[in-house]
A and B are shown apart, each in its own frame.
Chain A
């Protein structure tokens, strides 16, 4: 193996600017998509537990479709197929949009992840003792208030670990946006490799970005989980002696 390391190259231009911009893009793409995914996911998850059959069916249909088509293909569908189905003048607007790939990635990532979050929310709601629903309604809350004040706050605490891992999943999945031309960190690493043939340095930067963010998120969410912890609400798993 003959390979000369040149770590200093990473601080040279244009690479350094590329890297900084790419890390920023990766982070806000992930964050924005995750927030949208949470909102949609919670809505769909609640839909799947309502008494209305039509809503339940719509929720199930959404989950099955978005979960069972690979994300990479979904990105392609949003980029190439979706604009074709728009009315003509919307199409023109979309095509004139500067960062169409970025917004395509936001749509694709958040709708894909929302299906996964909806499933977590659904099973979290199922894990809530049925007495809670009856108790909430019997104190005169409307069904919407019941979800708003009782069920969702309860369910959210149950699924904090799952939501954390969904953020990490969406964060890693941003890498797939490179296939539709978003300059996130994996694609920039590849570009640097192609320009300089310094693949190890370039990919190390990308891997370090993912690993460090993962660690930071786990630490942060561990703290959030501790803050939101209610004694006796969720049994902490303990190994038996």
Chain B
């Protein structure tokens, strides 16, 4: 064992971790609102709208993230007629993919509030949108906090998948250094500790919310 290889490459590894966190943050910030829209669409009384949203969710949820990434990586340049940089296709693929998961969490949260609260809101003269905004969503978000936190950890772990197209997050950075230095044991162990630290902190937060609920 030679842990010097880790300290020698420490700044590079930290930059990789930063990129991973940043990617996860961007994906969460963009896919959560889209997930909310999808959830509202699925709960809509308009049959075609809820069918379209359900189809979107089921299709994405039954495919692996890697394959979705391949799809976008291949087809986005084809559709817009020019190549885009790897980072953009990673973000687009991840946002679309995780929006489906956030959508399901939000839908379950909204349904947990129950129809009687909706009726109470509507009968006091609030519009459907206002009932959602002021009565259903605030209650739903409270009950979804543990699931949302867990999903954020899943997104963070999912950023490792960007490795397959050479995006410079922690996984790819680690494997590059491991290949160059031929010290996989130390480097992958270090990466494992780094991922564990972030995810474990997240799971403690999720448990905290669960106790509050």
Contacts and interface: CB of A to CB of B under 8 A. Distances in A.
A contacts B directly (C-beta below 8 A): yes
Interface of A: 1, 3, 64-65, 67-74, 76-77, 80-81, 84-85, 168, 172-176, 178-179, 186, 189-190, 193, 199-200, 203, 206-207, 210-211, 214-215, 239-240
Nearest to A65: B196
Contacts of A67: 199, 203
Interface residues of B, number: 38
Contacts of B191: 73
Contacts of B184: 76, 80-81, 84
19 contacts: A3-B78, A68-B196, A68-B203, A69-B192, A70-B157, A70-B199, A71-B160, A73-B160, A74-B192, A76-B188, A77-B189, A81-B184, A84-B184, A172-B64, A190-B70, A203-B71, A206-B67, A207-B59, A207-B67
A186 B64 contact: yes
B66 A203 contact: no
Nearest to A176: B66
B205 interface: no
A77 B188 contact: yes
Contacts of A3: 78
B213 interface: no
Interface in B30-75: 59, 62-67, 70-71, 74-75
A70 B171 contact: yes
B203 to A, nearest CB: 6
B116 interface: yes
A193 B75 CA distance: 11
Contacts of A176: 64, 66, 161
A178 B63 contact: no
Contacts of B75: 199-200
A199 B62 contact: no
Contacts of A189: 67, 70
Which of A70, A73, A74, A186: most chain B Cβ within 10 A? A70
